[in-house]
Amino acid sequence: MKIKQTLLIAIFLLFIGCIGTDNKKPNVIFILVDDLGWNDLGYTGSTFYESPNIDKLSKDSFEFKTAYAASSVCSPTRASIMTGKHPARVNITDWIPGLDPKNRPLLGPQDLHQLPLNETTIAEKLKESGYKTFYAGKWHLGSEGYYPEENGFDINIGGFEKGSPMGGYYSPYKNPKLSDGPEGEYLTDRLTNESISFIENHNKNQPFVLFLSFYNVHTPIQPNLKHVNYFKEKLDSMDDNKVRVREEGEAISLLNQVNHNYASMVYAMDENVGRLINSLKENNLYNDALIIFTSDNGGLSTLGRVAPTSVFPLRAGKGWLYEGGIRIPQLIKTPGNSKNVKIEDVTVSYDLFPTILDYAGLKSETEIDGKSLMPILKGESKIDREDVFWHFPHYHGSLWKPGSAIRHGDWKLVQHFESNTVELYDLKNDIGEMNDLSSNFPEKTQDLLNRLNNLREETNANIVSINKNFKQ
């Protein structure tokens, strides 16, 4: 009898052990590219830029066809990724520190210039659960005292307050959190080297989160010299190699991808994504990892001058609340997956926070706006969310003027504060937002405007004020 009981206990313990193995916390690799546009990659449709390594990753990943950034500029989206909250809820709606002019009809609200330390970040949650936390690259969420190491990251290499590389893309970097490299070292290579070193030297018995935040492809547009001649020659051989633009309010939007320096920067970033993936494979970490690849806002395609990239057929670009400013590429490779699955559901940057927690077997104890994508990734259900909204009540160097936008189903409303006007678009039939239907569908327009007002109120969104000193 005792032998039988002992045998049963042994079988039970073995069963429990197997469950524990299956539920092992996955390593998390989060690759964030700065200013990468919706169609800046091969797999998203570019015929000029080349991204063979990311294209290869897409074959093993869930490919999100309708992914949005939480904002059309960087800092709000980054705050959203870190917290799972809408930027308005964390009181960061502009890039830090912003540059609202004082000679325009409206005054932008006073945002926070740092991610509050009382916010719970994804790194803090994972660290509490036993993860080693590593950060490399652009931070842009506050100055000293608010760096990654104050927000849950054990290691911070290169993350400080600036949104662009102060010394450019070649050493010396003028970065207080990154030592200078040898002459000619390219910043994107260096950040990847540091990330690979972390992978190779980490404790194999401890799960980790690696957050690689490239400065590429943010300005200044400084190509990797190894590749620039190749893309210059490629451009010269193309039929559509002359600059084509379209007016966008006071700005102009580039309609075709013709910047060989920018193409080189995309390729350099892709080359390093490939190096990182190869390191994961060489260390037998790739198959079981959760890998997220995405951007923080739309591509820089609209300026007062010719911009470096184009996101056509989408309208406008970074800084604007038309699709070109907020639609982004996004891939998620889940543990064990090795096939491409296209996802049409609308997703937003703040959904990544609860998704990572789900895969780590954790839950958020604070109110968040994000919805876990795990049910979608498992093919079980859709996201339970009616509306997505964006709030950018600031003037921007792209010549955007303060406003908000909301998407409800296939309908999208854009509200302009300065002119006190709204526009309504049917994204299913008009992805380029060329046909304003607000006068054709006044009830739908009012419904979306009401929804937008309610969401701003719910998130305590800061609003603009009248500039009493403005003189025309």
Q: Which two tokens stand for residue 75?
A: 């800092």
Residue in 33, 46, 36 with CA at minimum distance from that of residue 312 = 46
Task: Calculate mean pLDDT across residues 330-335.
Answer: 97
What was the pLDDT predicted at 431? Answer: 98
pLDDT in tens, 202-253: 999 999 999 999 999 999 999 999 999 999 999 999 999 999 999 999 999 9
What was the pLDDT predicted at 472? Answer: 77
Least confident piece of the model among 161-165, 409-413, 468-472: 468-472
Task: Calculate mean pLDDT across residues 131-159.
Answer: 98
Residue in 109, 82, 71, 80 with CA at minimum distance from that of residue 460 = 109
- Confidence bin at 23 (pLDDT 50/70/90): low
Domains of the chain: 25-383 (3.40.720.10)
What was the pLDDT predicted at 328? Answer: 98
- Confidence bin at 425 (pLDDT 50/70/90): very high
- pLDDT at 9 > cutoff 60: no
- Confidence bin at 175 (pLDDT 50/70/90): very high
pLDDT above 90 coverage of the chain, percent: 90
What was the pLDDT predicted at 18? Answer: 36
pLDDT in tens, 300-309: 999 999 999 9
Task: Calculate mean pLDDT across residues 412-433.
Answer: 98
What is the pLDDT of the chain when averaged over all its residues? Answer: 94
User: Tokens 């049963």 identify what position?
Assistant: 8
What was the pLDDT predicted at 383? Answer: 87
Question: How far is it, in rounded angstroms, from Cα 187 to Cα 217?
Answer: 11
In what helix (H) or strand (E) does residue 423 lie, and over which residues does it extend? strand 421-426
**pTM score of the predicted model:** 0.93
- Phi first, then psi: give them for residue 160, nearest 5 degrees: -145, -160
